[in-house]
Structure 1
Amino acid sequence: MQYEGVLRKMQSEIGSPIQYYMVFENDFLNVNQILDKHLSINLIKYQCLNCGSDRKIYRQGFCKTCFYETPAAGDWIMRPELSTAHLGKEDRDLEYEKKIQLQPHIVYLANSSNIKVGVTRKSQVPTRWIDQGAHEAIEIVEVPNRFLAGITEVALKDHIGDKTNWRKMLTNEVDDENLVEWRSKLKRHIPQEAQEYFIENNGETNLEFPVLQYPTKVKSLNLEKTPEYSGVLKGIKGQYFIFGDNTVFNVRGSEGYYVGLRVN
């Protein structure tokens, strides 16, 4: 089987285990169905996710020009506390920013390699947790806009981490935690503006990833340095492929790369 197209983050569907899909312009692949099979990947060219040009990808799937111009790469994407649409203030495109920022957002705890706090749109639960490789997660607050979620995350980061150790996540060096207890402990640190949105009674969400074999020591595949690679696919976790030779490949981190895939 052969597939070809520009890489975007894998789509996912919660289940036991989670189902992963790669969607190209003319191809569709349920990645779970190729576990334990030989997968070859080769970099053909670049294709910016915004302008579609064959220009080297700079960040987040965009060429350098688009990264600094498209509203989809504004600073508020990575730093929600910088959101200003609730004030009617434009960053790059106010209509786009209103569409994304002025909708319900969740501040959550997720355990991928350690407990971390994060922010996502409500519509992206549990997709965001799956993308991060979290085996358990819980909502803390549900607020009406991205700004309130951002200032809540900033306040909680003083008391708990906000980063994932991707190597620990991929080698499955993880411990279960009582996220309900953690949520209760963190409640008093939530800003006054968001206190009324605290979620009292929900439980943890547990996630099962389709992994047959975890790596003992991870080797990251960079298609710019190694444009052709072949290996036996042993698992998918977060947005990573895990291969039998301890190689891991970050699909989302390679967005905008136009690749050929061969399965045999």
Structure 2
Amino acid sequence: MTFEGVLTKMESEFSHPIQYYLVFETDFLNMNQLIDKTITIQFIKYQCLNCGLDKSIYRQGFCKSCFFDIPQAADWVIRPELSTAHLNKEDRNLEYEKKVQLQPHVVYLANSSNVKVGVTRKSQVPTRWIDQGAHEAIEIVEVPNRYLAGITEVALKDYVSDKTNWRSMLKNDIKDEDLVAWRERLKQFIPDEAKDYFIASNSETNMEFPVHKYPTNPKSLNLEKEQAFTGKLVGIKGQYLIFEDDTVFNIRGNEGLYVGIAIN
């Protein structure tokens, strides 16, 4: 049985364990059901997530011309402190920027390989944490726009990491942390503009991932170079497929590739 479509990040459902779904235009796969099965992933062509053309993917699933043009790939997406919609100031498309930036955002702590600080729209909790492979997370600030979340993250980065070590995350080389205690320690460093939005009473959210075997030495699959890969799927964590031979494949990192997936 073979399925074809363009890769976009797996959709997820918060349950125990997390349920993952790969959604193509005409196919819908519950990836948890493929664990312990041998599958083949084959690169067929490119398909930019914006223009739909068969052009090399530059970043974030977009071809180079789209990446430097569309609002979905603007700098404020990665660096929320650059948001300007709250000032009624356009970057690439003010209507889109207002829609995304002027809604509740959360600054959070997540533990995937270490404790890190991050920003997401409130509507993306806990999806954002699942995508990062965090086994525990907690909200620390909820603000009305992306800019306030961004400047809070920047302030806290001086005292806590903002990066995840993907290898440690996949190896499950992690330890439990008291995120409530972390939240209390970091409270003093929140910028004045966001202090009133501090969340004083909440608890950690814990995630359980569908992994039967963690890799000891994860090797990232370059599907464009290899063209095809066959292996036994033994787990899913974050946006990574984990195979029995320690090969891992980052679905989100390969958005815009049109692939075939065969269940052997």
The TM-score, its normalising length taken from structure 2, stands at 1.00
Unaligned runs of 5+ residues in structure 1 are none
1:60-98 alpha-carbon deviations (Å, 9 max, x no partner): 000000000010000000000000000000000000000
What's 2:206 paired with?
A: 206
Cα RMSD for the two superposed structures: 0.3
Q: Write the distance in 2 (CA, Å) between the matches of 1:207 and 1:219.
A: 24
1:19-57 alpha-carbon deviations (Å, 9 max, x no partner): 000000000000000100001000000000000000000
Cα drift, residue 225 of structure 1: 1.2
SS of 1:9 mapped into structure 2: coil
Q: Is residue 89 of structure 2 the alignment partner of residue 89 of structure 1?
A: yes
Unaligned runs of 5+ residues in structure 2 are none
Cα drift, residue 224 of structure 1: 1.4
Q: Is residue 132 of structure 2 the alignment partner of residue 127 of structure 1?
A: no
SS of 1:209 mapped into structure 2: coil
Cα drift, residue 2 of structure 1: 1.1
Query: Where do 1:32-47 residues align within 5 Å?
Result: 32-47=32-47
Q: Write the distance in 2 (CA, Å) between the matches of 1:122 and 1:5.
A: 29
What's 2:60 paired with?
A: 60
Query: Where do 1:12-51 residues align within 5 Å?
Result: 12-51=12-51
Q: Write the distance in 2 (CA, Å) between the matches of 1:59 and 1:223.
A: 15
Amino acid at match of 2:247: T
SS of 2:133 mapped into structure 1: coil
SS of 1:100 mapped into structure 2: helix
Cα drift, residue 258 of structure 1: 0.1
4+ residue runs over 2 A deviation: none
Q: Write the distance in 1 (CA, Å) between the matches of 2:227 and 2:98.
A: 39
Amino acid at match of 1:175: K
SS of 2:229 mapped into structure 1: strand
SS of 2:40 mapped into structure 1: strand
Q: Write the distance in 2 (CA, Å) between the matches of 1:110 and 1:43.
A: 33
Amino acid at match of 1:128: R
Q: Write the distance in 1 (CA, Å) between the matches of 2:162 and 2:194.
A: 19
Q: Write the distance in 2 (CA, Å) between the matches of 1:169 and 1:12.
A: 18
Cα drift, residue 202 of structure 1: 0.5
Q: Write the distance in 1 (CA, Å) between the matches of 2:27 and 2:194.
A: 44
What's 1:158 paired with?
A: 158
Amino acid at match of 1:197: Y
Amino acid at match of 1:123: S
Amino acid at match of 2:37: K
Q: Write the distance in 1 (CA, Å) between the matches of 2:166 and 2:226.
A: 21
Q: Write the distance in 1 (CA, Å) between the matches of 2:158 and 2:142.
A: 20
SS of 1:224 mapped into structure 2: helix
1:211-254 alpha-carbon deviations (Å, 9 max, x no partner): 00000101100111111100000000000000000000000000
Q: Write the distance in 2 (CA, Å) between the matches of 1:240 and 1:14.
A: 16
Q: Write the distance in 2 (CA, Å) between the matches of 1:142 and 1:93.
A: 25
Amino acid at match of 2:103: Q
Query: Where do 1:136-155 residues align within 5 Å?
Result: 136-155=136-155
Cα drift, residue 157 of structure 1: 0.1
